[in-house]
Amino acid sequence: MIIVMKSGAEKREKDEVLKRIKELGYTPHVIHGTTRDVIGAIGDERGKLALQEIESMNGVERVVPILQPYKLASKEVMKESSIVKISDTVSIGGSKIVVMAGPCSVESEKQIIECAEAVKRAGGDILRGGAFKPRTSPYSFQGLEEEGLKLLAKARDITGLPIVTEVINPETADLVAEYADILQIGARNSQNFALLKKVGQLKKPVLLKRGLAMTIQELLMSAEYILSEGNQSVILCERGIRTFETATRNTLDLSAIPVLRSKTHLPIVIDPSHGTGHHLYVSPMSLAAVAAGADGLIIEVHPDPERATSDGPQSLKPEKFAVLMEKMRRVAEAVDRTI
């Protein structure tokens, strides 16, 4: 249920409502809107009608059911798009489109710093790089782990770019959160509910990727796991889904942008690198993503893709990335956004 408070409701009245929600066995989640607060009362769907009595409490405008199975992620709970703050200067979800870029994996100090400087020079906002890598083969490079996190932190110190890096299990989530500005949940883990709950309890924004065979509704249900644990800073990422097509690594579902936009207030990021699997296809799909209304992009960039330990074929060289940034700026302008 959603409890819509009157604009100008007093704190005392809101506290009474929060207390009553808890007494009825539900968990309140306060969402601060521009003119009024809205409280999501989340819990057992079967007894939710008991919450209707709250409508008669002081300061309450109305109590309405949330029809979707995802509640806090739903647009019903918040009409305006949410803006996720990453640092003092970077937020995702506003009119500025945020570009995250960097290598698939952190490989060495030289590689990550070279990359970070190139991303910064081209006007990128956030540095990406995997330290813990979920690889299809157990014999492939698994990442530099904590050493990789330290190198990312060093690159952040040098360039000022916040960092996004993947967390692959609950056991290492606290460690990753000590270093990262955004915790990435990878496609293979996006229905790992224990991990989703864990990052829901951490105080760091989460970039949640869509799984290889996940519907949009399932993606929103995964977001709900994080939100319902109390972490409101969730960013959704479409990174391609598996279809019958083999000419591209995945099929990048750009229609997910307007579909998600109609269903959720959460920011939407596109990953054209994993979405296509080939560097030649990354630029056209990035431009299309900007045109279709993405709030951000995450793009793999590597100074020497031929020798990359992972995902070299889909990584852009820094020069190509800089050219793409320029083109994206022009498309962004055409759709009343900036980059």
Which chain residues interact with ligand PEP by CB under 6 A? 104, 130, 186-188, 209, 239, 271, 274
The region of 8-16, 19-27, 49-57, 308-316 touching Mn ion under the rule CB under 5 A is: 308-316
Smallest separation, CB 186 to ligand PEP (Å): 3
With CB under 5 A as the rule, give the number of residues binding Mn ion. 2
Closer residue to Mn ion (CB): 200 or 318: 318
Which partner from the list ligand PEP, Mn ion, none does 224 bind, CB cut-off 5 to 8 Å by kind?
A: none
Smallest separation, CB 311 to Mn ion (Å): 4
Asked if residue 168 binds Mn ion (CB under 5 A), the reply is no
Distance in angstroms (rounded) separating the CA atoms of residues 168 and 188: 9
Which partner from the list ligand PEP, Mn ion, none does 187 bind, CB cut-off 5 to 8 Å by kind?
A: ligand PEP
Smallest separation, CB 238 to ligand PEP (Å): 10
Asked if residue 181 binds Mn ion (CB under 5 A), the reply is no
Closer residue to ligand PEP (CB): 165 or 233: 165
The residue number with the shortest CB distance to Mn ion is 104
Which partner from the list Mn ion, ligand PEP, none does 295 bind, CB cut-off 5 to 8 Å by kind?
A: none
Which partner from the list ligand PEP, Mn ion, none does 29 bind, CB cut-off 5 to 8 Å by kind?
A: none
Distance in angstroms (rounded) separating the CA atoms of residues 272 and 270: 6
Smallest separation, CB 170 to Mn ion (Å): 22
Q: Looking only at residues 78 through 107 of this chain, which bind Mn ion when binding is defined by CB under 5 A?
A: 104
Asked if residue 311 binds Mn ion (CB under 5 A), the reply is yes
Closer residue to Mn ion (CB): 74 or 309: 309
Q: Could you list the residues that contact Mn ion (CB under 5 A)?
A: 104, 311
